[in-house]
Amino acid sequence: MLDPTLPIALFAEATMGTLNAKMSEGILRYGRNPVVAIIDSTKAGLRARDLCPVESDVPVVAGLDDAVALGAQVVVLGTAPSGGRVPPEWMDMLQDAVGRGLSIVNGMHDRLEPVLGGKLRPGQVIWDVRVPQGDMPPIAMGRAASLPNTRVLMVGTDMAIGKMTAGLELTRSLQALGHDAAFLATGQTGITITGAGIPLDAVRVDHAAGMVERMVMEHAAHDVLVIEGQGSLLHPGSTATLPLMRGSACNAMVLCHRAGMDVLDTLNETRVPPLRDVIALNEAVAGGAGALTPARVRAIAVNTARMDAEAARAAISAIEDATGLPAADPVRDGADRLARAVIG
């Protein structure tokens, strides 16, 4: 976990405002640390709000010199190339940062501590977020199914569609309504924001459901658990949704969908089925066609970031008509409607 008082710079070279930089956007919106700069030389001179839907005037700067001048003590790798590997061209910047005494938060699959750790000074850290903590658990055995609480899994029609964002907003609304709710992070951005969780895509597949199960059991005392979703059952490259379903034994789900989307973002030949069919698919798989804990999709979290207010209202209304379920954009409108549907 990172000291929440340390000022950070988000490294998002050539990607700020794109889906690749969703970690930067998530930290800007929900992170605990003060953000003093965004490093993206292609957009230097702009502000965060100019590039993504966040109410933030954090400046975009050209490089590490500018970030340090603004007080940065930590560099967070806030963008991820396809595959999540550290590009060789980043290493000069990372070595420079470590040499200046800055700490590094690394959400990539490649570990940096073994490479740069020998150069650290006292108090300086490299946090490789995607390194699972503790021993590998045994395979999942359905233990969470016996819990009396509500376990809400965020599922989606695609990757990078807002499952973490919707889950954090849902948790906030549940807490504001007086419920003992906790958010369980399963990806590098959520872990960086909350300081805890499991990097599910770095866990061996045989142990993935068991890792989720252990996390859920460790938080069993909460009345409501909101489990961050990963991937999508519709995506041919996604493997994470099933272990989340099995390990959490979820008994409720919220479907996350980008308004107006009819094909997957990076696979234009893969059509998104009607949302009623997507709901039926997730419910059938989560419940094992009747063999396991039944789980209903209770509401739809709609990502309308690419729409104006009028178009967003129309899209949400159309989704409610098509599915018969409550729908809302939790960022634009808050998640109280979703929270009441989950608990009700």
CATH number of the domain within which 33 lies? 3.40.50.720
Does the residue 279 lie in any domain? yes
- pLDDT tens digits, residue range 222-276? 999 999 999 999 999 999 999 999 999 999 999 999 999 999 998 999 999 999 9
Task: Say yes or no: 308 and 178 in one domain.
Answer: yes
From 102, 128, 154, give the residue that closes a domain.
128
Task: Say yes or no: 242 and 279 in one domain.
Answer: yes
Task: Say yes or no: 82 and 193 in one domain.
Answer: no
Task: Say yes or no: 158 and 91 in one domain.
Answer: no
Does the residue 133 lie in any domain? no
Task: Say yes or no: 314 and 251 in one domain.
Answer: yes
- pLDDT tens digits, residue range 137-176? 999 999 999 999 999 999 999 999 999 999 999 999 999 9
Cα radius of gyration (the chain):
20
DSSP string covering 315-342: HHHHHHHHHSS-EE-HHHH-SHHHHHHH
What residue numbers bound the domain in which 224 lies? 143-343
Query: What is the pTM assigned to this prediction?
Result: 0.95
